[in-house]
Amino acid sequence: MEYILIFISAIFVNNIVLAQFLGICPFLGVSKKIDTSLGMSAAVAFVMVLATVVTWLVQTYVLVPNHLEYLQTIAFILVIASLVQMVEIILKKVSPALYQALGIFLPLITTNCAVLGVAILVIQKDFNLAQSVMYAFSTAIGFGLALTVFAGMREQLELTNIPKGMRGMAIVLVTAGLLSLAFMGFSGVDGGLRTFFGLD
């Protein structure tokens, strides 16, 4: 039941983009078309889960035993950058088709603060490895959901007659704000489920 609550909370209640405001750059930059947002979502999901596992292991078995917790952020950044490079090299050799499909999205993930944010959040929440993987996977789904819904909204906006002063980034930011408000409707769902199943 704990894993279901993590899943629901990460996707809807504490959405990484719309509630915690991490990963805003790809959210605004790669959300012009649904197909590109789906590609970015898949790449982020893969790297986010992999990076969370590796950074959790680094934190638990390298930083904490050696009392090097203060190096957490820089160690995690190095690990994530190295992972993205390794994944890129391996995909290029093993599956050129998948490498071509991901295209420019893979290098963009290195600078996606949502990946680093999740790696740090699982340590702060004191999750075990299984909970960390579930949280990373759920957060990636939440990221993908927000990105894809927003891309659909932006495609619809292209067909709408928008007042001249609101065209471009202005209407995009207003739409993002409205989407964020819509997701605020889920706040309290995780607390209600905890009470319902007697986990509090």
State percent of the chain over pLDDT 90.
Answer: 40
- Residue 186 pLDDT > 90, yes or no? no
What is the phi-psi region of residue 174: left when phi exceeds 0, alpha when psi lies from -120 to 50, beta otherwise? Answer: alpha
pLDDT of residue 90: 82
Whether the pLDDT of residue 149 is over 80: the answer is yes
pLDDT per position as a tens digit, 101-120 = 666 777 777 777 889 999 99
Long-range contacts of 65-71 (CB under 8 A, 24+ apart): none
pTM: 0.87
Looking at residue 200, its pLDDT comes to 65
Cα distance between residue 89 and residue 6, in whole Å: 33
The overall average pLDDT reported for the chain is 87
* Residue 159, token pair as written in the block: 């067909």
d(CA 9, CA 192): 11
